[in-house]
Amino acid sequence: MTRHFLTLLDFDRDTASALLDRAIQMKRERFRSKLLEGRIIALIFEKASTRTRVSFETAIRHLGGETLFMTPRETQLGRNEPLKDTARVMSRYVDGLVVRTFGQEVLEELVAWGSIPVVNALSDKLHPCQLMADLMTVKERFGTLENIPVAWIGDGNNMANSWLEAATILPIELRMACPEGFEPDPLVVDAARDGGANFMLTRDPMQAAAGAKAINTDVWVSMGQEGDDSRMQSVFEPFQVNDAMMAAAASDAIFMHCLPAHRGEEVTESVFESPASAVWDEAENRLHAQKALLEYIFSV
């Protein structure tokens, strides 16, 4: 059986919870193994990256494997080779694919035509690996995810979509505040509602933040979507995470951001550098969550 990870909905509650616990254990033990010894994992990145690339390459090496990093400039992906051809060829060369791309359909086609595990390292629709690290961070800080109020403030982007999926399979309470016209994918919202997720959507960021244990945001203009920064500034300015918003949250609330951050835009310097900021733990946890994920995928 080949295991893939394209979306958090690939996991049920028990599997996701077990992986988060395993990631926390791996972090505590500074875990290393030879699980991937003799195996090569190809990282195919159509978007630039710091944390995703370094954390995955390090995780693979911590498990004894080797990596091959590829961009469109170095592959036929940049020359419009059919994805089904790439999938079948790569399946004969390497043992797995970690893909950072634009369309979710790219990942789905690689799965459909290939015979090796495929991991979604980011698409325009979803960012499930970041969510595993974020959920791990929340669980580390509060000891549980049960009924923990998490606020998402800002753009209804791939991170927001993945938070909705997290709320579908795990017992968090999700509050989302997004400007008009920047809501999460309506199909993802409908699926979360049908799946019994505990969430609310509002245009009032202070309503979402009130009493929350985690205040989470992202850049106002996502990678590849730049172009009208002045309009974004006016639309998103009321959604800036600042001292007043953190004061409305729970007294032990943490601030989270997947990075890179634009200080002075979606978050103030005072919040980003405050004792409440969990961004460095969150960034580190990419490594541990992905080690747990890779162990799960390659242990079959």
Q: Is 33 annotated as a binding residue?
A: no
What are the C-alpha distances in Å from 6 to residues 50, 118, 120, 156, 200? 20, 7, 5, 19, 25
What are the C-alpha distances in Å from 108 to residues 59, 173, 224? 24, 29, 21
Q: Is 179 annotated as a binding residue?
A: no
Q: Is 50 annotated as a binding residue?
A: yes
What are the C-alpha distances in Å from 51 to residues 129, 133, 263, 281, 295? 11, 12, 18, 12, 19
Q: Is 158 annotated as a binding residue?
A: yes
Residue 141 structure tokens: 């800080």
- Catalytic choice (62, 100, 175, 257): 100
Q: Is 218 annotated as a binding residue?
A: yes
- 231 included as an active-site residue: no
Q: How many CA within 13 A on the CB side of residue 230?
A: 0
- Catalytic choice (22, 175, 257, 286): 286
Q: Is 286 annotated as a binding residue?
A: yes
- Catalytic choice (104, 130, 240, 290): 130
Q: Is 293 annotated as a binding residue?
A: no
**Cross-strand bridge partners of residue 70:** 44
- Catalytic choice (178, 218, 240, 257): 218
Q: Is 262 annotated as a binding residue?
A: no
- 30 included as an active-site residue: no
Burial class (CB within 10 angstroms; exposed 0-12, middle 13-18, buried 19+) of 26: buried
Q: Is 100 annotated as a binding residue?
A: yes
Cβ neighbours of 186 (radius 10 Å): 9
Helix (H, G, I), strand (E, B) or coil at 193: helix
Residue 201 is which amino acid? L
Q: Is 259 annotated as a binding residue?
A: yes
Q: Is 71 annotated as a binding residue?
A: no
Q: Dump the DSSP string for 60-116.
A: HHHTT-EEEEE-GGGSGGGGT--HHHHHHHHHHH-SEEEEE-S-HHHHHHHHHH-SS
Q: Is 51 annotated as a binding residue?
A: yes
How far is the C-alpha of 116 from the C-alpha of 3, rounded, in Å?
Answer: 8
- 178 included as an active-site residue: no
- Catalytic choice (4, 22, 127, 257): 127
Q: Is 52 annotated as a binding residue?
A: yes
Q: Is 130 annotated as a binding residue?
A: yes
- Catalytic choice (155, 258, 288, 290): 258
- 258 included as an active-site residue: yes
- 218 included as an active-site residue: yes
Positions at the binding site for L-ornithine: 158, 218, 222-223
Positions at the binding site for carbamoyl phosphate: 49-52, 76, 100, 127-130, 258-259, 286
Positions at the binding site: 49-52, 76, 100, 127-130, 158, 218, 222-223, 258-259, 286
Q: Which residues are catalytic?
A: 100, 127, 130, 218, 258, 286
